[in-house]
């Protein structure tokens, strides 16, 4: 997914697909929490609440990850 397509009205599943395409694995929450953590070896974990639409702050967080990954490729 291109960086400019990371709009502020993304759904959780779209954001999940972006992170998984960069090698992040999703860990499901325990105990009824709505927060999902995405992990990748050597990278800081990213925690995103599953709400629709995703708040802009979380989209920006993922945008920074995508830009960082693009520089490393």
- Domains observed in the chain: 12-70 (3.30.920)
> For residue 67, what pLDDT is reported?
82
The model's pTM: 0.79
Closest by Cα among 27, 9, 22, 34 to 64: 22
Q: Of the candidates 42, 46, 39, 40, which has an alpha carbon nearest to the alpha carbon of residue 61?
A: 46
What is the tens place of the pLDDT at every residue in 22-71? 999 999 888 888 899 999 998 889 999 988 888 888 888 888 888 887 77
The pLDDT, as a whole number, for residue 53 is 82
How confident is the model at residue 73, as a pLDDT? 67
pLDDT of residue 38: 95
Given a cut of 90, is residue 20 above it in pLDDT? yes
């Amino acid at each position: 997914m291109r960086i400019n397509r990371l709009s502020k009205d993304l759904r959780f599943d779209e954001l999940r697909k972006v992170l998984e395409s960069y090698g992040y694995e999703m860990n499901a929450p325990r105990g009824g929490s709505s927060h999902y953590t995405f992990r990748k070896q050597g990278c800081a974990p990213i925690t995103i609440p599953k709400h629709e639409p995703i708040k802009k702050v979380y989209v920006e967080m993922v945008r920074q990850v995508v830009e960082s990954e693009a520089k490393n490729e």
